[in-house]
Amino acid sequence: MNRKISRVFLLSLVLGAPIFSISCDQHSMIYDQINDSPDTIADMIKDSFFNSKQKFKDQTEVLKYLKSILSSYSYVYFDDKSIIKEKDSYLFEYKEVSRNEQYFKYNFKLIGTKYIKNDIVFNHDDYYSFDIDIKRQLELVDNIEFLQTESETSSNNGFAYFTIKNIINYKNFKVKASSEEFNYKNFEYNKNNKNNFIIELYPLYDIDYQFIEFLVSSDNTSKNTTIKIKNNYYSSEIVVLNKKVVETKWADKFTFKILNYKILKNIKIEELNNRFTFAKNFSINNLTGDVEGLALFKDYNGISKTHEFTINIKADDVYEQSFLLKINKINIFENEDKNSNISIDVENPRVLKMSKNIKNLTLISIEDDFYYDNAMFLNGSLVDKDKKSYIGLNEIVVQAKRPPLNNAKKVNYFLIDFDFEYNNDGKKEILNVKGASIDFLVDKWSQKTISIFDKEAKIEVVNNTPNSYLKYELDKEQKNINIYTNSSKVDFKINYDFFRKTYNIKNFENEVEESIFAHTLGFYVNNKDPDYFVQYFIIRDRFRETKKVVFAYKQENSNLESFTITFLYFEV
């Protein structure tokens, strides 16, 4: 027995780790039915795993391989229930001790069993134990599992920390920014650390790059895992802002933030080209870097329109930075359109309700006369031919004169003066606005065909030659007007409210020599009689010889139905 113990311990010293221990009490056993000693079996197992080119995914594959190489050893069992009682044997026990991405470390144990007095005796003090490294084949998985997929850096450094679940299940990590515009300084991982995956970012200089996405994978993943980092590690070389565009409304407050405010000195905020000066100084929160301003400039009257300005922020010893300040128009009217033009209709008047903070409004035509505008203002007091006052009123009633064809204007520009009330830190203030602009867009009119014989046309033929004869007949069925006359000048009048709704009006056609009969080129507004459009016909002396002249109006692409005017010479 002593000779056997000595041999085992000598082998242990030579081989290193494997230990075969035998108890020396009265139950010491001699396995005379076993051909191979435990160390011989252990050496065989070690050699098999070492020489094998196979890699193992899990314990199931390890156990399968073990059983295959031990299949010829009939006295080695993996389950105590399958042991044949009449034989001496070894019970083979195994357990995984540790693992990394390359190896499993297993502990194997051969426990001696003896058949004594019709029973199997396990001597757990009589065993041979050894550790072995087994080549690991990492399983192909979908992606890397993170405990959390979002993180952020501190203001002191660019490190963002993540935790990967079961980090030992992955091999050769790969990190790629989701866009070429993004970049990172370094990444590392430490399997023994709770925050085992770390990405280091460069200092932030542009707010567009504050949120960065990275794609993380490994050799044994089929898909990327997306992680997101908010970079709070701000550059000390340039002013860093939290916004590139700030949108507000005239006379409203607006805010933005200087992210690296604490390291900046002598901050100046101004409009880029110094064309305008803010009506109120900016206030800066010394703890947070939040900046508040009022969207008003001194001596600037463009508040009825949306405008954009570049605002510049400077500080000592760093590069300056700017953002776009978009100031949306104030609503002169509560029910005005969202776009820059106010839509008006040829058919129907539009009632525009003034906003409550608009007072004492005056409307001014840039044409120096409302007559030339393609918009009719149906209320208000006419102060001058180019100015209407709405002081004391709270609405403007407006309608388009004509469809924007036949040289009628589609967009009509006007100036307005008004008082604008706004709140400045709880105090009501009034801004006297001079020369702001407002635009009316003619974009609605009827497309249906109308007839000059409609009642609304109110046709009149007027004789403008004293001591002459004129009589006319309207033949609606034949769409003709017969004019019996010996007058040298005839006015053909159509009701203004009817005729202004026509478009693409053409000249009359006739086959008479110009020396016999002449007429004007089209219909005109008669300033003396604003309720009518007038067509002037001038008749030469030779009309007496001709006796009859027919003028034809052809509809073509206009909305006025075709008709004729027949002049018949007649005298009493």
Q: Which residues pair with 377 in a beta bridge?
A: 398
Q: What is the pLDDT of residues 194-210, one digit of tens each?
A: 778 999 999 999 988 89
Model confidence, pTM: 0.61
Q: How far apart are CA 214 and CA 187, in angstroms?
A: 11
Q: Is 59 helix (H, G, I), strand (E, B) or coil?
A: helix
Contacts of 279 (CB under 8 A, 6+ apart): 294, 296, 297, 298
Domain boundary among 296, 328, 360: 328
Q: Does 264 lie in the same domain as 358?
A: no
Q: Which of 354, 472, 467, 481 is nearest to 420 (CA)?
A: 354
Max distance between CA atoms of the chain, in angstroms, equals: 165
Q: How far apart are CA 88 and CA 496, in angstroms?
A: 125
Residue 25 lies in a domain: no
Report the DSSP pairing between strands 211-217 and 290-294. Answer: unpaired
Q: How far apart are CA 486 and CA 376, in angstroms?
A: 39
Q: Does 304 lie in the same domain as 281?
A: yes
Exposure string (b/e) for 136-152, b if CB count within 10 Å is 16 or more? bebeeeebbbbeebebe
**Domain containing residue 359:** 341-444
Exposure string (b/e) for 52-75, b if CB count within 10 Å is 16 or more? eeeebeeeeebeebbeeebeebeb
Is residue 106 within 8 Å of residue 59, measured between CB atoms? no
At 528 the pLDDT is 61
Q: Does 558 lie in the same domain as 464?
A: yes
Looking up tokens 């007072």 gives 359
Q: Which of 412, 424, 432 is nearest to 301 (CA)?
A: 432
At 366 the pLDDT is 93
Q: What is the pLDDT of residues 256-269, one digit of tens each?
A: 999 999 999 999 99
Domain boundary among 231, 262, 297: 231
Domain boundary among 231, 256, 279: 231
Q: Does 156 lie in the same domain as 110?
A: no
Q: How far apart are CA 124 and CA 21, in angstroms?
A: 9
Residue 453 lies in a domain: no
At 38 the pLDDT is 84
Q: Which of 216, 237, 236 is nearest to 226 (CA)?
A: 216
Q: Does 51 lie in the same domain as 123?
A: yes
Q: Is 168 helix (H, G, I), strand (E, B) or coil?
A: helix
Q: Which of 219, 185, 199 is nearest to 152 (CA)?
A: 199
Q: Which residues of the chain have pLDDT under 50?
A: 1-30, 520-521
Q: Is 411 helix (H, G, I), strand (E, B) or coil?
A: strand
The pair of structure tokens assigned to 383 is 């102060």
* Stretch (H or E) spanning 199: strand 197-200
**Rg of the Cα trace of the chain?**
50
Q: Does 508 lie in the same domain as 410?
A: no
* Stretch (H or E) spanning 253: strand 253-257
Is residue 536 within 8 Å of residue 519, measured between CB atoms? yes
Q: Does 367 lie in the same domain as 429?
A: yes
Residue 449 lies in a domain: no
- H helices then E strands: how many in the chain? 5, 37
Instruction: Provide the CB-side half-sphere exposure for 324 (13 A, CA).
Output: 8
H/E/C letters for each residue in 489-536? EEEEEEEHHHHCCCCCCCCCECCCCCCCEEECCCCEECCCCCCEEEEE
The pair of structure tokens assigned to 476 is 């609606």
Is residue 445 within 8 Å of residue 343, measured between CB atoms? no
H/E/C letters for each residue in 325-348? EEEECCCCECCCCCCCCEEEECCC
Q: Which of 339, 309, 328, 355 is nearest to 439 (CA)?
A: 339
Residue 237 lies in a domain: no
Residue 18 lies in a domain: no
The pair of structure tokens assigned to 182 is 């993004």
At 226 the pLDDT is 95
Q: How far apart are CA 569 and CA 548, in angstroms?
A: 6
Angle at Cα 204 formed by Cα 203 and Cα 207, nearest 5°?
A: 175
Q: How far apart are CA 290 and CA 251, in angstroms?
A: 19
Is residue 419 within 8 Å of residue 359, measured between CB atoms? yes
Report residue 136: phi and psi, to 5°: -105, 135
59-69 and 38-51 helices cross at what angle (nearest 10)?
120
Q: How far apart are CA 549 and CA 566, in angstroms?
A: 6
For 56, 208, 259, the CA distances from 205, given in Å and listed in that order, are 49, 9, 10
Is residue 123 within 8 Å of residue 114, measured between CB atoms? yes
Q: Does 118 lie in the same domain as 161?
A: no
CATH number at residue 182: 2.60.40
At 8 the pLDDT is 36
**Residue 125 burial (10 A CB sphere; 0-12, 13-18, 19+):** middle
Report the DSSP pairing between strands 174-177 and 119-135. Answer: unpaired
Residue 305 lies in a domain: yes
How many domains does one find in the chain?
A: 5
At 517 the pLDDT is 58
Residue 144 lies in a domain: no
Q: Does 311 lie in the same domain as 222?
A: no
Q: Does 435 lie in the same domain as 345?
A: yes
Q: How far apart are CA 317 and CA 262, in angstroms?
A: 14
Question: Residue 146 carries which DSSP code?
Answer: B
Residue 115 lies in a domain: yes
Q: Does 222 lie in the same domain as 272?
A: no
Instruction: Provide the CB-side half-sphere exposure for 190 (13 A, CA).
Output: 8
At 125 the pLDDT is 67
Q: Does 345 lie in the same domain as 323?
A: no
At 22 the pLDDT is 35
Q: How far apart are CA 297 and CA 275, in angstroms?
A: 10
Concatenating the DSSP letter of every residue in 101-120 gives SSEEEEEEEEEEEEEETTEE
Distance of CA 405 to the CA centre of its chain: 39
2-15 and 38-51 helices cross at what angle (nearest 10)?
20
